[in-house]
Homo-oligomer: A and B are copies of this chain.
């Protein structure tokens, strides 16, 4: 995989704001040709650096109950638990972490009833879960995917 250079990052920054910005418009903004934009985007897509998606508003879809759940798992069963959780449609994110919880997941529900059902019925039936700390989202301040920064190394190992 070729290294991502400054021009790639500039293209990504524009697409972060609007995933539908035409190649011609990107080319114009960056003062390069449309072909360059196209070939770079093809390469970045091919290398899996990014993909075109849509971001839906969970609340507008009726998913009013948003949670982050920290889980502790039995030694040796963490991966299996993580994989089972990943199958569930309510679960958006699953990661293994160091820290107070072995696994942290993010899950969305249509109602508190559905959340309770999830914890009592779904989680309780997964072998290897020792405990679950449910945090209920009261307010969201930021949920951005614009994390492409101009330069890779802001603070290097000596900083």
A interface residues, Cβ below 8 angstroms from B = 1, 4, 9, 12, 15-16, 18-20, 47-58, 60-63, 66, 68, 70, 82-83, 85-86, 89-101, 104, 108, 110-111, 113-114, 117, 133-145, 147-149, 152-157, 159
Rounded to whole angstroms, the CA-CA distance of A130 and B17 in the bound complex is: 34
Q: How many copies does the complex hold?
A: 2
Rounded to whole angstroms, the CA-CA distance of A6 and B149 in the bound complex is: 38
Are the CB atoms of B60 and A47 closer together than 8 Å? yes
| Minimum CB–CB distance for A144 against chain B, Å | 6
Are the CB atoms of A157 and B89 closer together than 8 Å? no
Asked whether A56 and B50 contact (CB < 8 A) given A133-B99, A155-B114, the answer is: yes
B-chain residues with CB within 8 Å of residue A53 when the two chains form the complex:
15-16, 18-19, 53-55, 145
Rounded to whole angstroms, the CA-CA distance of A135 and B104 in the bound complex is: 9
Rounded to whole angstroms, the CA-CA distance of A94 and B147 in the bound complex is: 14
Are the CB atoms of A97 and B54 closer together than 8 Å? no
Chain B minimum-CB-distance residue to A60? B49
Are the CB atoms of A142 and B54 closer together than 8 Å? no
Rounded to whole angstroms, the CA-CA distance of A92 and B147 in the bound complex is: 7
